[in-house]
Structure 1
């Protein structure tokens, strides 16, 4: 089909909302907004749906407000609509989303002459949408802008088609049933968006699973090493499943954040149905792997998932409790690592873990508050902290980090260390390095030079890697002193 002649008189343009004007879908967004208010609404959704999709949408719209000004707009298409409106073309918004949301979008944009949306008794989708458009237009021709194959029946009745956020294949199909006026190709790749949303860089946290294997001096046991590796994979997939769920529940607050607004769901780069399918699949694979390990590991993974769910829905909005829960989730990785190789984690390891990871959790919150203060905002979206809490968090976080070093020193000075290590004195190198690392992390945080995710900062920080290398060397000397001594240039 030929492109439309821009000089011709253009018929009214009817515009779809979900996936067309915006990159997301308001039904899915509002469902997760509802679950964020109260997760137990999930049991009411089937009851509402039994009375029809229109009724369900109405019930959700009465309970969930959408901040339309923060939605991920298809900016290129929106610029096109503004140009068409300025040229005198009539624009109509027709959407299967509830009419409350449709009106809110129009109030924000001020572009459309008329708005059609779903009501409590009518779901404006498919043939019902076409009938509503035809009733509105009468015998007048109209153009239609949409994004999905389900819209082909409306395009076949339209005088021209505007295809938005779809590939060339759909544009060609639309061009076979009517004249193709414009095509705005999809700019985001779902696979790339899913990869980003899974946050594979965060899998580094799960390297903690190998710590019990190293500290139990069984790193050369191939069977146990394989078990730890399987545990690492299971925890990583489970964590990615949680990240996807967390981002879906945090859509609105993420869009208010200076960096989280670029996350795939918040930016509309990843469709919500794809995300839901992925989080379910990742969770199933994680537990399938877990069942090949000792039963205790399955219990730990299940408890970890339950706590991360509780954190995503409730606990992260409770001041200080959120930091303690984060520290506990890190510690559970150590417990899982011990469970995978069927050993018991020591008191010293768990105590050190709680204190050091509480310090890191508070670094994360302090950094977010610092960005909030610089942006002249009064409260951190989705959190219970305010800029006035910065000093308190800094004091608590620094103290917690130093307590971790104290626990390490007490452990090194204990009687059991001489039984486990050939040269325990080498472990004392760890204390000044940890003191330096904790102090430097908080110094950079107070200066505003810390990434809002300390894990990301740690991975990129050259000094941290050097410290880790030196610490690893000290640990090797402590464990393998007898084997290493002949190769060291020592006197006598």
Structure 2
């Protein structure tokens, strides 16, 4: 009997979470439940009192998973397909609830049986080991697993297949041997993507009140502004992580978002949850070093962004109005941190300008979809036939922002702040150039980035923006 025939003659039991898929269905289904039924948050402690198995089954009763969209470990799947073709008996042995396990087994078509959690029985560690021994005998099966909870099953199996192991499973493999299938290793770039560090550029709006007050070199304002920038960046990254948790299934159906660290399974949800708590602790800790008003603005930002992630992002027009408001909140945060004033004109300009850019995002999403008339974009409140009205509203907002700027330039406040106010009139055509160009590119299907990130990284926008900044500085000297 050759080695392949000898291997396939023994049943293979395969773990699900972290082994067959690069994620954990308990965490996935929990965030899916909270997205669909937020009030179930208050039921979770009562379900958990009945044991982990009850918690899993109660969640499974209320949500449906997309078995076809999960991040499967393709190298393991290929091996299972080969073994199944050779006649091997393969069992899905998982602590996930039966509803989820059977949905995945039906989708893959490589399993002969399913062993899973039931109400009152969490099929993990020694419980799973005992169930497999009862079915196949001690040492009568091979087992594929990945974590500390699988070590008891490894010890009872004939041969262990260690897949993308955690620290405990890796140490077990080093001592005892067995077959090893490595998982994707996160790189420094992975963590940067998790934090969405490029989005921190938006928080530069915190410096705007200080700059417009001509306090560029005032350390009493500059240092608080830097601290507020760090605080807001940490808070924003924490909310981005939370947003990724709620959007896992949607991201996996997107051509580029499917490669995000949590959607792809390169980073685990528990790791992301710990990182999120740490980032929030940094943000709030810095807030205690700043004026109390800044803390109030930060709290409002956290509440608003969480509401956006949970519900508002799926509401027609309310989502873009919220996005425009969140950009304006950054300006208010800068004002609160530095004690510099913020005018009605600046807030009005900010709302119209960023509303136009938020509408660009939705317009690009609509242009890039292949949906039919009457169908909504996944996770959004927009339909394909909304393109024209979104475009019209976005262009109107762009012109409104330029109009507000023009009225501000003509106001008495400008004559008090600037010795040569006529020098800042070119800011109006600069704003129009930037916004209209973005809309032209969007209608040409050449706008592939977040509009804010595009403005910051586009050399033409950088050039005219730098010219506008020079005019502001020179006009105030």
Structures share fold, TM-score greater than 0.5: yes
Structure 1 window deviating more from structure 2 (7-16 vs 429-438): it is 7-16
Question: Could you tell which deviates more after superposition, 187-196 or 35-44?
Answer: 187-196
Q: Deviations over 1:232-281 (max 9, x none)?
A: 00000000110010110111111122221111111111100011111111
- Corresponding residue for residue 283 of structure 1: 280
Mean CA deviation greater in 9-18 or 349-358: 9-18
Cα distance between partner residues in 2 of 1:31 and 1:87: 38
Structure 1 pair 376–239 and aligned structure 2 pair: CA distance change class (3 A): same
Aligned residue in 2 for 1:349: 346
**CA-CA distance at 1:6 after TM superposition:** 3.6
Question: 2:327 matched to 1:330?
Answer: yes
Aligned to 1:434: 431
- Work out whether residues 367 and 445 of structure 1, in 8 Å CA contact, stay in contact via their aligned partners in 2: yes
In structure 2, distance between residues paired with 1:77 and 1:256: 22
What CA deviation, in whole Å up to 9, does each residue of 1:162-181 have, x standing for no partner?
1111279844523634x51x
After superposition, the Cα gap between the structure-2 partners of 1:139 and 1:154, relative to the gap in structure 1 and judged at 3 Å, is closer
Q: How does 1:129-144 map to 2 (within 5 A)?
A: 129-138=128-137, 141-144=140-143
Contact 1:368–1:452 under 8 Å retained in 2: no
Assess if the C-alpha contact under 8 Å between 2:92 and 2:111 holds in 1: yes
* CA RMSD of superposed structures (Å): 1.8
Equivalent of residue 401 in structure 1, options 386, 398, 402? 398
Answer whether contact 2:139 2:156 (CA < 8 A) is retained: no
Which one is further off, 436-445 or 161-170?
Answer: 161-170
Which deviates more from structure 2 when the two are superposed, residues 245-254 or residues 7-16? 7-16
DSSP-derived class of the 1:62 partner: helix
* Uncovered stretches (5+) of structure 2, i.e. residues with no partner: none
SS of the residue aligned with 2:131? helix
Counterparts of 1:306 and 1:217 in 2: how far apart (Å)?
32
Q: Is the 8 A contact 2:228 2:287 kept in 1?
A: yes
Name the CA distance, whole Å, in 2 between partners of 1:155 and 1:322: 49
Distance 1:251 1:479 in 2: 49
Aligned to 1:312: 309
Q: Distance in 2 between matches of 1:192 and 1:48?
A: 38
Is the CA contact (8 Å cut-off) linking 2:327 and 2:354 kept in structure 1? yes
Q: 1:455 aligns with which of 445, 452, 456?
A: 452
After superposition, give the CA deviation of every residue in 1:351-395 in whole Å (9 maximum; x if it has no partner). 000000000100011111111138999321111101111111000
8 Å CA contact 2:430, 2:464 repeated in 1: yes
Matched, 1:221 2:218: yes
Aligned-pair CA distance for 1:39: 2.0
The answer to whether structure 1 residue 295 and structure 2 residue 299 are counterparts is no
C-alpha contact (below 8 Å) 1:348/1:407 kept by paired residues: yes
Report SS of the residue matched to 1:117: strand
CA distance in 2, matches of 1:20, 1:307: 37
CA offsets 1:145-172 (integer angstroms, 9 cap, x no match): 0111221111111110111112798445
Paired positions, count:
475
Superposition pairs for residues 52-71 of structure 1, below 5 Å? 52-71=51-70
Aligned to 1:487: none
Distance 1:332 1:175, change over 3 A: closer
Hey, what does 1:83 align to over in structure 2?
82
Match for residue 35 of structure 2?
Answer: 36
Contact 1:190 1:270 in 2 (8 A): no
Structure 1 segments unaligned to the other structure (5+ residues): 481-492
Q: 2:93–2:128: 8 Å Cα contact kept in structure 1? A: yes
